[in-house]
Structure 1
């Protein structure tokens, strides 16, 4: 089902990367889930999924998007002004949530988030809730982008560093220009070489880690392969493991 949402705020991260806060009557959701935005064009509904960046309980929903020149919906989203409307699915979906992470001995003390580009959104949503900080001793966000200007939500991330200075480890990686505050490698390469673990100051293993991966398909495949070599396995409801994946397109 669909409802009409109204844009109440825009955040411009760069000339193509932006966030929309939308006032819409949607059902309660779980941090990490996604909704769909849509428009009717030529009597056909064009819909795309966007992860919710805001935590549950806010009086709005927030999505992070990048405008793709030949995209069917994203250019229209980028053109939306405050006060204009967009169709929103009333119910969120998705299983990349902390509820799906195994509990007990298999959980381990460390939670790793591996994200590229706009896929950092669902991890921001999770980190803005109490659950990861109550369940895990360490929370690591590895955030890979091409350019420094692509690092969205840095103010929120830095606020989390101040709020959880002993728990939260933030590792940005910018691949196409020098960034003095982070790495300059692809996430799978950093995992393979051990650089990411070295930077975090903690080991990543099947005994102590849960890893959530969200981003471009190539990164997901390569990162999961490297983690498998380290002995981690994909987590399923019938067979709990250490790796949870959501393909972003």
Structure 2
């Protein structure tokens, strides 16, 4: 049974008609960057709940959640309309193993995401550990439309702070967009386009990859990487591919 506690809404930022970010305050337990929590609201006497990754780093005194409004969803449409001062339930204790302490050593860290799965990477990148461990970090974010490329100000801050380490590569699949690649992440890896574009080769000897987002992206990217000699990272058998399915 979840250990629910109340959280107060500080801000509800709408990026477009579907994407939004809730900023909350609540007395939660310490967590690790990359972990997730659960939000819930009571509906007809039942707690309707969903898991959401933290966008904020563990050092922040505010909680931030990045979400998509699903038109026929039970919870997200209600979260979408919350206003400052409203309350939502949150689990006091975080969960998940999509954290840097589960990732083996390497020279280059590739962070591959779709949609709102960008969130846990922002949490990870706003801590010092990643920058101390890896010589280069490549952040890849794939969306349908350019308007879905949220958190650009925060990403630009990271680029300014770590100009020699961070490479950011967006993908936009349904329209042309400046600086963005078209198509899907797995195809861009399979044909070498992603490596050519960012200027860093993908080798099992030097690279660690974290995959988070759409299950189809995760599955297909993992298959492409395995065909090139990468293996899934397991505690009992360390590899190069660390995976989080986002729904």
Q: TM-score, normalised by structure 2?
A: 0.98
Match runs of 1:92-107 below 5 Å: 92-102=94-104, 107=105
2:101 is paired with a residue of what secondary structure? helix
Match runs of 1:3-18 below 5 Å: 3-18=5-20
* Aligned pair partner of 2:61 in 59, 73, 78: 59
2:147 is paired with a residue of what secondary structure? helix
Structure 1 unmatched runs, 5+: none
* Aligned pair partner of 2:146 in 145, 148, 154: 148
CA deviations on 1:100-141 (whole Å, 9 max, x unpaired) are: 012xxxx22000000000000000000000011000000000
1:198 is paired with a residue of what secondary structure? helix
CA deviations on 1:168-189 (whole Å, 9 max, x unpaired) are: 0000010001012111121111
**Partners of 1:15 and 1:239 in 2: CA distance:** 43
* Aligned pair partner of 2:25 in 7, 23, 26: 23
**Partners of 2:236 and 2:128 in 1: CA distance:** 27
- Corresponding residue of 1:229: 227
* Aligned pair partner of 1:42 in 41, 44, 47: 44
Report the Cα offset of residue 10 of structure 1: 1.8
**Partners of 1:211 and 1:155 in 2: CA distance:** 24
CA deviations on 1:42-90 (whole Å, 9 max, x unpaired) are: 2211110000000012111100001001001000000100110000000
Report the Cα offset of residue 11 of structure 1: 1.6
- Corresponding residue of 1:109: 107
- Corresponding residue of 1:87: 89
CA-based RMSD: 0.7
- Corresponding residue of 1:202: 200
- Corresponding residue of 2:78: 76
Q: TM-score, normalised by structure 1?
A: 0.97
**Partners of 2:150 and 2:91 in 1: CA distance:** 24
* Aligned pair partner of 2:216 in 215, 218, 222: 218
**Partners of 1:108 and 1:81 in 2: CA distance:** 43
2:22 is paired with a residue of what secondary structure? strand
* Aligned pair partner of 2:169 in 171, 188, 192: 171
1:165 is paired with a residue of what secondary structure? coil
Structure 2 unmatched runs, 5+: none
Report the Cα offset of residue 6 of structure 1: 0.4
How many residues are matched? 245
Report the Cα offset of residue 237 of structure 1: 0.5
Match runs of 1:185-200 below 5 Å: 185-200=183-198
Runs of 4+ in structure 1 off by over 2 angstroms are none
